Structure 1
Amino acid sequence: MSAPHMTAPHTAWGILGLGVHVPERRVSNADIAEQYGVEPAWIERMTGITHRHYADPAEATSDLALAAAADALADAGLAAGDIDVVLLATSTPDQLAVATACRVQHRLGAHRAWATDIGGACAGFLNALKLARDVLTASYPQGRALVIGAETFSKFQNPRDRSTGVLFADGAGAVVVGPAGEGEGLLCSVQGSDGALADIVGIRAGGSARPADARSLAEGGHYLHMNGKAVAAYFHDVFPRIVQDLTRTCGLPLDRIDLVVPHQANPRMLRTLGTELGISPEQLVITADTYGNTGAASIPMALHTARADGRLAPRTTVLHAAVGAGMSWAGVVQRWL
């Protein structure tokens, strides 16, 4: 008896829809400068950020994620019931133990979708994008995945720590991933981690290693903390390697990359690194000036802005690079559909 005919799994996947949600509350440098003991001009000079957005007290990360996801589905011309996988990248989940993605899946009405959260902090969206590609290839030959990055960092800001308070902000971005033609969509990816530096940025208390108690609250262990100099040094070391690894893996030199859309860290630092690497201002997409660092949400939010500005057209080749807590990093090259 001859072996049954096996259909080769679909292996090309790209972004079919793009959505974003930015909280209404707009926060200028002047609004926060006094509490951090600095002048508004100092914040802009050191970071390049002029303002950012904060969620309302009653808004959770799932609320922002839900709005961005609905926007992405509408953009793709799909319904929630068409989605097979929901991946939510976030460092600021609604709560421990319960995946925020499951709340989004239920509220969205994507009832047949598998849903889970993805770590990696600022690199989380690219981790989720790669996982979406892999899961679709393995399990859903003609499937659709909803990949979301969402953060509410304002709820974890230390009101006395300017190293995090002037940088981080809130927002959400989402994409729908589905079948693409050969040579289109997600072309290659790279990723890595260095756990020796796991303590230089993050939220110290509230987990099993240090459960929340009166002492951790008094010490501010539930707030986001960051060793700014150590994080900047790591970023300066790893970011160029991500770009180099991606261009080598994909076989695309930097002059054949149309846009570089990184995670939106300190925009002043991004511009400096871009110049050092030979990335032109026409290639580099920076939105943190007006949105701040929105972590896992920053890349899809920046993609949305690039498209709105007419910089993202079919066949545009886009390089993404992100460095997150852990420390971890990720990179992706895609050809826009």
Structure 2
Amino acid sequence: MDYGLMAFGSALGKPDAVADIASEYTEDVERVREYGYRTIHRSPDGVGLTDLAVDAGRAALDEAGVEAAELDLVVLAITDIPEYLYWDPAASLQDRLGAHRAEAVLVAQGCVGGITCFDLLAGRFATHPEYRKALVVGANRTCEAYWNRMDTHSLLFSDGAAAAVAGRGHPGLRWRASEVLTDGRYADLFLLEQGGAADPFRGGEEPAPARDAWDLMEFFDYDAERFEAFIDLMNDRVREVVARACKRIGVSVSDLARVVLLNDNLSTLTKVADKLGVPLDRTNLDLSMEHGHFGAADHILNLRRHRASGDFRAGDLIALAGMGRGMHWGCTLLEC
């Protein structure tokens, strides 16, 4: 399927130095500092996930010189819980942008959604020959009632959204292939027991405290060896899914000019780059340390910043790779 990315936009929360705010989230400040992040972005009360998505989408449309009414497809990939239940934030995004003739699709595969959304675009372009232009948005707004942005995970979560306008036949940043692996054995890893149909909230009931890293260890029966084996599996499968995507178009991992990963911590990025045989300076390490993890927005945001910095050259093959709860591992290849 022949489509490319025409333009980008972003909307980020206020930047805060990690050293200044870590004690608000955890007593284990030293562990958080060891992750290597310098800054994260936080949105003020009253700014929701869809607000960020709308601002990023408008910025991308403005850069592309495309009117919202021209869009045939709007895709929103999210990481955290949206503003409301029984409500589709992708449809709300379509309406608020004024893209009233566009199909709206919600992708809720966690952090990997910013990768798999490009495969979704390829499918829609293939099956709907009348579709000419699409907008894809990745967004994260940490719901701190349920998720401690510094203590639930080994990533530090930032609030923000990034968007890209895609055009059929556009010659720049052309989609080449996507590959996804899923392992449902880990579907319950990030499960939140309260609030769903199995255990709905009752009137006057307080939600459970935000989960922390120790809660996640319960899945592994607090067995450190099992947990370490899972970490190795996660990183190995990033390598595997990248290799599969490369094989699909007849190239090797060594042909990649750059690999854009999740904005993970310093240790994980180093390990994954080593497994891929890619030097750290050909990843998004510095962007990750400077801005924190935006969930499903990471890859689109990093594409925008790498392109603006002149990191891409004509003919470069770029891999977007990572993982998300489910568990899913994904890779999308783009050609400059």
Cα 1:276–1:25 change in 2 (3 A) is closer
- Secondary structure, counterpart of 2:185 in structure 1: helix
* Residue 222 of structure 1, CA deviation: 8.0
* Residue 147 of structure 1, CA deviation: 0.6
Q: Deviations over 1:298-330 (max 9, x none)?
A: 111111221222112443211011200011121
Q: 2:123 maps to what in 1?
A: 134
Q: 2:250 maps to what in 1?
A: 251
Corresponding position: 1:169 with 2:158: yes
Amino acid at match of 1:98: W
Distance 2:100 2:18 in 1: 40
Amino acid at match of 2:262: H
Q: 1:22 maps to what in 2?
A: 12
Q: 2:106 maps to what in 1?
A: 117
Q: 1:48 maps to what in 2?
A: 36
* Residue 221 of structure 1, CA deviation: 6.9
Distance 1:75 1:294 in 2: 22
Question: Alignment partner for residue 209 of structure 2, among 217, 220, 227?
Answer: 220
Aligned counterparts, 1:316-331, within 5 A:
316-331=316-331
Cα 1:302–1:156 change in 2 (3 A) is farther
Distance 1:288 1:183 in 2: 24
Deviates more, 1:79-88 or 1:148-157: 148-157
- Secondary structure, counterpart of 1:190 in structure 2: strand
Q: Deviations over 1:84-134 (max 9, x none)?
A: 111100022222221101111111111111112112101112221111111
Conserved? CA contact 1:25–1:56, under 8 Å: no
- Secondary structure, counterpart of 2:119 in structure 1: helix
Distance 2:173 2:18 in 1: 40
Question: Alignment partner for residue 61 of structure 1, among 34, 37, 49?
Answer: 49
* Residue 62 of structure 1, CA deviation: 0.4
Amino acid at match of 2:2: A
Aligned counterparts, 1:1-337, within 5 A:
11-33=1-23, 35-39=25-29, 41-45=30-34, 47-92=35-80, 93-156=82-145, 158=147, 162-164=151-153, 167-180=156-169, 185-213=174-202, 217=206, 219-220=208-209, 226-227=216-217, 229=227, 232-286=231-285, 287-336=287-336
Q: Deviations over 1:222-278 (max 9, x none)?
A: 889644946634422311111221222221122221110112232431122202321
Number of residue pairs the alignment of both structures matches: 324
Distance 1:270 1:180 in 2: 34
- Secondary structure, counterpart of 1:211 in structure 2: coil
Distance 1:316 1:180 in 2: 18
Conserved? CA contact 2:155–2:293, under 8 Å: no
Distance 1:182 1:55 in 2: 35
* Residue 157 of structure 1, CA deviation: 5.1
Distance 2:148 2:178 in 1: 37
Deviates more, 1:271-280 or 1:213-222: 213-222
Identical residues among aligned pairs (%): 24
Distance 1:222 1:138 in 2: 41
Cα 1:192–1:216 change in 2 (3 A) is farther
* Residue 12 of structure 1, CA deviation: 0.5
* Residue 283 of structure 1, CA deviation: 1.8
Q: 1:3 maps to what in 2?
A: none
| Gap runs ≥5 in structure 1 | 1-10
Distance 1:106 1:223 in 2: 36
Distance 1:160 1:54 in 2: 10
Conserved? CA contact 2:142–2:158, under 8 Å: yes
Task: Tell me the TM-score normalised to structure 2 length.
Answer: 0.87
Amino acid at match of 1:20: S
- Secondary structure, counterpart of 2:282 in structure 1: coil
Amino acid at match of 1:74: D
Distance 1:158 1:101 in 2: 22
* Residue 161 of structure 1, CA deviation: 7.2
Conserved? CA contact 1:204–1:221, under 8 Å: no
